[in-house]
Amino acid sequence: MSETENPAVVEALAKMFPSDDPLDSVDFDVTQYINAMFPNEQSLSNLDEVILELSERIEHHEGEVSNLIREGHQDGKQSAQMLDEAQVDLQKLVSSIMEIKTRAEESERMVSEITRDIRQLDQAKRNLTASITTLNHLHIVLDGVENLEKATTARDYGLVATLLPGVSNVIEHLDVYKDSVEEIQIVTQRMAKIRTDLSTFVTKDFSQAFAISSKEKLDIQNVKSACQVADCLDVTVRNEVISSFIVSRLSEYKLLFDSSQEVAWFDKIDRRFAWAKKALMDVEGRFGEIFPASWEISERVAVAFCKLTVEMMSSVLEQRHHELDVKLLLFAIQRSRMFEEQLAKRYSGITITGNQTKPEHEGPKESTNPFENDFGSESGSQSELSETKLDEKLAKKESPFSRMVTCAFSNYLSIYVNAQDRSLKELVQRFVTDFAIESSQTCEVLPSCADLFVYYKKCLVQCSQLSTGEPLLNLSKIFAAHLRNYGNNVLMNNLPINTKTTNAAQSALSQMTALLKEESATRLTRHDLALTCLLLNSADYCIDTISALEDKLIEKASPEFKERIDFSPEKDLFSDVIKTSIGLLVQDTEGACGPAFQALLKTNWAAFHNVADQSAYVTAILKHLEEQIPYIRDLLANARKYFTQFCIKFASSFIGRFTSTLFKCKPISTIPAQQLLIDTQVLHSALLNLPSIGSSITRKPPLSYTKTVSSKMCHAENILKVAMNDHNDPTQFIQNFKTLLPDGDADTFKRIIDMKDLRRSEATSLLEKYRGNVTTAEDTEQYSLRKLERLIKNRL
């Protein structure tokens, strides 16, 4: 396609040069144009004029084209001339740039020559300044070292503390010249000797100063200066000074509370901490201004006291552990923990963790004394702490001082665990004894359930503060054992089960199964129903609380013990209590329908000729349900899921018994079957509304319950519909049976025939035809399968 034939180009030209002339049209047709100019023969008379006009137009266009060509030629010449001029200008510009560059390079050389001398002078100035500074430093060091030697010999720690930091700093600057300048090397050696002598003198003088009794006057300023000197020396000197000070402060404690002393026993543990109180107050009072604040000397003494106390108490425990009982153990642990908490309030723990942290308690401080309250003023008995306070303490972030003293008792916590075992055994036994009183109270859950888990919580809090290792694991095993004891002896054994009908060796579930099969089981009273629901609610509460207890134990336990904490068997036991309770409720509710089922069986259906409203036995059943179901629903108001389970299990059991009773009714012809169908439909409707029966608020029953009731009741209705049909047409009767009861078998078919109470010959003939029909159908199906198998084999 040429450029002029491009549709876009044609459209653009049409917009630039609009024209109505047919000759300018893209779709110009010569024949059409000529026919338009000469429509008939008469118009040919103007042919010459038309030819002349067209010739003139052609000449005019040729002239325009010639002019355009000349103008284009002239424009080309002008463009070439302008291009030549631009090239000339460009060459001139390049020449100018090269000239400027040359001049710039010459200028740079001139500047470099001018500044070269200036740089040399600057370097000389820096060298001279460095030389003067080094000489000044050397002069200072020489004077300083000489003065330090004199002050060290005289043990003038005040002067030494003033000179030592500066001289040491200057010598560090001169250290780079040590190998090249002999004078500096000599000064460095003299300085090293001074530091060695100072380390010896400071350590010796500190030991003498700390040995001064409180009655003698201490040269505070000289000792304070000595501390400043020790801070400037090697860190080992400072540590040795601190260690000797701590040893001197705790030497009296080691003698007073030696394992051979009676005061070392734990009934007098308050005296240990009272001594610590006095010692720390003495440290802060006499030596608080002497030691630098960065040494944290008071906290270091407290930490050393705790470590020494653990060693001494461990020695006492090893010798006299047989004298320790749980009351004394808890008393000692409580006092030790209180001491740890007081230390945590006063000190940051930086000497333990190495990180600066705030004390637990922030607020206005009247005194720096960490032991404002005497131990004897603490409220509470020796053997227990306030549960609320324990929970609050447990929730706090653990301080560095936590278990610093109480860890001494870690190996003897079995005493505590065994005591809790005995206490829990007594507690559960008391619950068993007091069950009659508890169950008579108006409550949704047995009070003993809450009491038991409150005690568990208290034990958990106490033990987790003592240890998160094996003692906590052993305590969890004790919890599990007593939970099983409680579940069996308090809950399961108090269910209103008629034990005369069962073997004592049977499990609770086996007992329940036997009871459900017994037709003559005694009805439960309203008190028994309330007791059953109370035990069910209590078991549900125990399951939920056991889960929370298990989570808390796993949270507190050490990582290596977490996987060994498991309360699944205990939760299964309480689940069995719930299942047994629901089974009892189902058995009692269904058992009350027994007289109605007996009335159904005793009805003379042969004399039944008219269909009426619901039968009397249906009315009796509905009345019983309207009385019992609301009562049970109210008792299980806070356990709706178990009420739903009860409804499902009752409906399944009731419908099964009702269907079995229907099969026993004889003889059932069309009219009796219609009456029974009406009764079944009434019961079907009543069962669907069972969860909300007698309630002012109608709730839609759960889908699982609706499916269960509808499936089983429709099956009963279909049995009656089959029995309603005339048996004189065996083929139709069998077909109806297959249609209405597609899952029915020969046994079901026989039971329906028995309901109709046919003569033996008729029943036998009908049953044989059914079996033959079923056999034929089965043979046909087998033949079809064999044929399909042969086709597949042939295809393969």
pLDDT interval class at 502 (50, 70, 90): very low
What confidence tens digit (pLDDT) does each residue in 293-310 have?
788 888 888 899 999 988
Give the tokens for residue 632.
């049970």
What confidence tens digit (pLDDT) does each residue in 43-78 have?
777 777 878 888 888 888 888 888 888 777 777 777
Give buried/exposed letters for 564-592 (b at 16+ CB in 10 A, else e): ebebeebbebbebbbbbbbbbbbbbbbbb
Q: What is the rounded average pLDDT for all residues in the chain?
A: 78
Helix (H, G, I), strand (E, B) or coil at 411: helix
pLDDT value for 364: 42
The answer, yes or no, to whether residue 128 has pLDDT greater than 70, is yes
**Average pLDDT of 385-405?**
57
Q: Please report, rounded to a whole number, the percentage of residues in the chain having pLDDT higher than 90.
A: 16
The overall longest dimension of the chain from CA atoms, in Å, is 158
d(CA 454, CA 460): 10
pLDDT value for 520: 43
Q: Among the ranges 40-49, 149-158, 397-406, 609-618, which has the highest mean pLDDT value?
A: 609-618
- Looking at per-residue pLDDT, the higher value among 195 and 267 belongs to 267
Number of neighbours of residue 57 by Cβ within 10 angstroms: 12
Number of neighbours of residue 139 by Cβ within 10 angstroms: 11
**Average pLDDT of 353-381?**
44
Taking the chain, what is the end-to-end CA distance rounded to the nearest angstrom?
A: 63
pLDDT value for 215: 41
Instruction: Calculate helix-pair angle for 616-635, 594-602, nearest 10 degrees.
Output: 170
Q: Are 286 and 249 in contact (CB under 8 A)?
A: no
pLDDT interval class at 376 (50, 70, 90): very low
Where does residue 133 fall: left (phi above 0), alpha (psi -120 to 50 degrees), or beta otherwise?
Answer: alpha
d(CA 343, CA 13): 100
Peptide bond into 667 cis (omega under 30): yes
What confidence tens digit (pLDDT) does each residue in 222-258 have?
677 777 777 777 777 778 888 888 888 888 888 888 8
Give buried/exposed letters for 504-513 (b at 16+ CB in 10 A, else e): eeeebeebbe
CA nearest neighbour of 244 among 289, 322, 196, 297: 297
d(CA 294, CA 359): 16
Integer angstrom CA distances of residue 713 from 172, 588, 655, 656, 706 = 102, 21, 7, 9, 11
Give the tokens for residue 501.
């009908």
**Average pLDDT of 442-455?**
87
Number of neighbours of residue 540 by Cβ within 10 angstroms: 23
Give buried/exposed letters for 544-560 (b at 16+ CB in 10 A, else e): ebbeebbebbeebbeee
- Looking at per-residue pLDDT, the higher value among 312 and 25 belongs to 312
Give the tokens for residue 679.
């009764």
Least-confidence region, from 20-24, 174-178, 426-430: 174-178
**Average pLDDT of 609-625?**
89
**Average pLDDT of 323-337?**
87
Least-confidence region, from 100-114, 165-179, 409-423, 542-556: 165-179
Least-confidence region, from 474-488, 514-528, 628-642: 514-528
pLDDT value for 358: 47
CA nearest neighbour of 593 among 660, 518, 657: 657
Helix (H, G, I), strand (E, B) or coil at 503: coil
3-state secondary structure 435-448: HHHHHCCCCCCCHH
| Residue whose tokens read 């508890």 | 438
Least-confidence region, from 190-199, 289-298, 580-589: 190-199
**Average pLDDT of 581-596?**
92
| Single-letter amino acid, residue 713 | M
- Looking at per-residue pLDDT, the higher value among 583 and 200 belongs to 583
The answer, yes or no, to whether residue 367 has pLDDT greater than 60, is no
pLDDT interval class at 275 (50, 70, 90): very high
Query: How buried is 41 (Cβ within 10 angstroms: 0-12 exposed, 13-18 middle, 19+ buried)?
Result: exposed
CA nearest neighbour of 546 among 563, 565, 570: 570
Which H helix or E strand runs over 566?
Answer: none
The answer, yes or no, to whether residue 601 has pLDDT greater than 80, is yes
CA nearest neighbour of 455 among 484, 420, 488: 420
- Looking at per-residue pLDDT, the higher value among 383 and 278 belongs to 278
d(CA 614, CA 521): 28
What confidence tens digit (pLDDT) does each residue in 100-113 have?
888 888 888 888 87
**Average pLDDT of 700-727?**
88
Integer angstrom CA distances of residue 734 from 507, 700, 776 = 46, 38, 13
The answer, yes or no, to whether residue 262 has pLDDT greater than 80, is yes
In this structure, what DSSP letter does residue 156 have?
Answer: -
d(CA 458, CA 393): 13
DSSP one-letter string for 39-85? -SSGGGGGHHHHHHHHHHHHHHHHHHHHHHHHHHHHHHHHHHHHHHH
Which H helix or E strand runs over 341?
Answer: helix 326-346
Q: Are 459 and 451 in contact (CB under 8 A)?
A: no
pLDDT value for 745: 85
CA nearest neighbour of 692 among 678, 673, 705: 705
pLDDT interval class at 589 (50, 70, 90): very high
d(CA 530, CA 588): 13
Least-confidence region, from 84-93, 337-346, 510-519: 510-519
The answer, yes or no, to whether residue 408 has pLDDT greater than 90, is no
Q: At CA 136, angle to CA 134 and CA 139, rounded to 5?
A: 110
Give the tokens for residue 333.
């642990």
CA nearest neighbour of 367 among 294, 246, 278, 284: 284
**Average pLDDT of 445-473?**
85
pLDDT interval class at 211 (50, 70, 90): low
pLDDT value for 613: 84
In this structure, what DSSP letter does residue 525 have?
Answer: P
